[in-house]
Homo-oligomer: A and B are copies of this chain.
Amino acid sequence: MRRITETVGKIKPIDTKVLEETQRRLDSLTKPRGSLGRLEELAKIVVAITGRKNPTLDRKVVFTMVGDHGVAREGVSVFPQEVTLQMVYNFLQGGAAINVLARGVGAKVLVIDMGVVSEIKMSKELINKKVACGTQNMMKGSAMTRCQAVQSIRGGIEIFEEEATTSGIDIAGIGDMGIANTTPSSAIVACITGSRVQDVTGRGTGIDDDRLKRKIEVIEKALKINQPDPRDPIDILSKVGGFEIGGLVGCILAAAAHRVPIVMDGFISTASALIACEFCPPLKDYLIAAHRSQEKGHQIALDYMDKTALLDLNMRLGEGTGAVVGMKLVELGVKILNEMATFEEARVSREEETSIP
């Protein structure tokens, strides 16, 4: 627990004073004021987060954390549980969507086993932080022990810090894989935002009406049996969370402690961010919402955090796929600040103050 407390203790509110100063710098560049819209916002927030006047985002890293879920046996997904393991191998071979999109934007993918059911043949590409072989079925009791919840968060912190120390991280994306993991995520979002389960429970990988009804019942039962305390993030994580979710929470805490911007992916990573913010509300300003997922409940989670997604491309895949696309937009925003000529440099006339002729 000490590692978590120390990390949280390092998180400082972002320096909002530089926002206005950075806007003035953006206004000195050869374009009508504010005409690059949200790209300008992104440049400003990255300056405020990093404390660097001209931050560069060359080292883009997406953390794809993987875990299995005991609740999968309740039939809440269209895919069988072994797909989690199969997808890990797919990630390691570079054939999954996250690999393709990350290559397309120049981001590095880290694949982390936080708690896959099966043992994974060791590969030097895989980071092993396995807490246990899958969580317990949250419909019948706690998904994990409090101790395991702490261990999963600590694992996430360690992974971030090791990568930051050895290779450096300018911006972090967070992603997930784990068959059935929209189920714990809906439970988390319902618990923290106080929403009705039916309002935050969607079709995940594509379940039909019958399974959706079942999924809602499962989540309602899990919340009723476990009674997670909405203001105790470790209680929520242990009772209705998942190991990959805990890993993402740790990663988010560590990134904020290191003043690194964090780009959220879809529903699962946003649920993780909600837990992370319960440790430390000012953390919220380090988070950028990449896209609006098709998964029902994502918008509710984003609204609760006062975040407007950059993209709305009807995506609902996870893995960090939305996050890496969003990271590219953040990078473009920062490039505007760093690379554009000013009116003076380019000898371009400014807006006229004269009246209509």
A100 touches B325 (CB 8 A): no
B341 touches A83 (CB 8 A): no
Task: Report the separation of the CA atoms of residues A346 and B97 in the bound assembly, to the nearest whole angstrom.
Answer: 12
A31 touches B97 (CB 8 A): yes
A93 touches B329 (CB 8 A): no
B87 touches A348 (CB 8 A): yes
B211 touches A356 (CB 8 A): yes
Flag A75-108 by CB within 8 Å of B: 1 or 0 each: 1001110110011011001011101110111000
A347 touches B86 (CB 8 A): yes
For the complex formed, measure the closest distance between the CB of A111 and the CB atoms of chain B, giving whole angstroms.
14
Q: Does A315 sit within 8 A of B, measured CB to CB?
A: yes
Kindly list chain B residues whose C-beta atoms are within 8 Å of the C-beta of A32: 78-79, 204-206, 316-317
Q: Does A74 sit within 8 A of B, measured CB to CB?
A: yes
A80 touches B349 (CB 8 A): yes
Nearest CB in chain B to that of A213: its residue: B356
Whether A37 touches B351, Cβ cut-off 8 Å, given contacts A340-B96, A356-B75, is no
Kindly list chain B residues whose C-beta atoms are within 8 Å of the C-beta of A93: 341, 346
The stretch of A151-159, A224-232, A331-339 in contact with B is A331-339
Q: Does A1 sit within 8 A of B, measured CB to CB?
A: no
Q: Quick one: which of B29, B100, B311, B336 contacts A340, CB cutoff 8 A?
A: B100
B35 touches A316 (CB 8 A): yes
Task: Report the separation of the CA atoms of residues A349 and B336 in the bound assembly, to the nearest whole angstrom.
Answer: 44
For the complex formed, measure the closest distance between the CB of A181 and the CB atoms of chain B, giving whole angstroms.
13
Kindly list chain B residues whose C-beta atoms are within 8 Å of the C-beta of A35: 205-206, 294, 315-317
A37 touches B348 (CB 8 A): no
Q: Does A321 sit within 8 A of B, measured CB to CB?
A: yes
| A-B residue pairs, 3 tightest by C-beta | A95-B341, A37-B314, A32-B205
Not counting A32-B206, A83-B348, A103-B335, a sample of 6 additional A-B residue pairs whose C-beta atoms are within 8 angstroms of each other reads A32-B317, A35-B315, A79-B352, A95-B345, A97-B336, A325-B329
A-B contact pairs, 7 of them (CB 8 A): A78-B351, A79-B351, A83-B348, A95-B339, A95-B341, A104-B335, A325-B332
